[in-house]
Amino acid sequence: MAVSVSRDLTVRVLADPNTLKLAERQQALKNAIQKGEPKCLGVSQVMLGLMVMSYSIPLLFTEFTEVVTLGVPWWSGLMFITAGGIAIFLDKHCTMKILQLCLMISMVSVMLSVVAVIIYSVDMNKNPEEPCMKTTEYDRCDEKHYETRLSRGVKSSLLVFTLAQTVIAAILCVLLFRQRRSFVSYTPLGEAAPPTSTLLTSPDLN
């Protein structure tokens, strides 16, 4: 803010052009981000993360394979929840720093999701469902068959959830990258429009 006094004692309070430009830029960024609805995408990621972690609990009671040994459902689920939480926070607090953070976390989430999909696929290929070997006593399949069947069913569900997370995180990355790219090339703050002014006329002392 600048103040100037003329010869007739008229005081001009000039608004800081940098402040006005920054406020306009932040409002434009907020409007652009909210058009992409990151909150909805963030809520979806949080829900998928919780589903992945909860659905993976039965795997603790089956034979430990690569998925359980590497802890894939748990670190991928935590990553989904983290990425979704930051996207929700971005919807309420739109700043360039938070946008860049959300973009970085979303990109990491995409990469980890792809890694998780590969591990699920390899694990399911290496551990097929055991054939049904009926016992003569109860005329039913042995426990190994039901155990591997449960394990593959749970892993199939986790694979679908992870694929969905990959798509959502990729969409969010594209939206955030476009907004970041458009605002990086934004007019510098110093090149603001002519400042507005407020006239304060001094009282007549005569």
What is the residue extent of each domain of the chain? 34-131+142-186
Q: In 3-state terms, what secondary structure has residue 197?
A: strand
Binning pLDDT at 50, 70 and 90, where does residue 196 land? very low
- Model confidence at 137, in pLDDT bands (50, 70, 90)? low
pTM to 2 decimal places: 0.69
Q: Can you name the CATH fold of 34-131+142-186?
A: Four Helix Bundle (Hemerythrin (Met), subunit A) (1.20.120)
**Least confident interval from 14-23, 83-92, 127-136:** 14-23
> What tens digit of pLDDT does each residue of 186-195 get?
434 334 444 4
Of residues 51 and 188, the one with the higher pLDDT is 51
| DSSP H stretches of helix in 93-192 | 96-126, 143-184
203, pLDDT greater than 60: no
User: Could you tell me the pLDDT band of residue 199, with boundaries at 50, 70 and 90?
Assistant: very low
Q: What is the three-class DSSP state of 202?
A: coil
- In the predicted model, is pLDDT for residue 206 greater than 60? no
Q: Which residue has the higher pLDDT, 4 or 117?
A: 117
Q: Which residues contact 191 (CB under 8 A, 6 or more apart)?
A: none
Q: What are phi and psi of 190, to 5 degrees?
A: -70, -20
For residue 30, what are the CA distances in angstroms to 16, 81, 106, 179?
21, 23, 19, 10
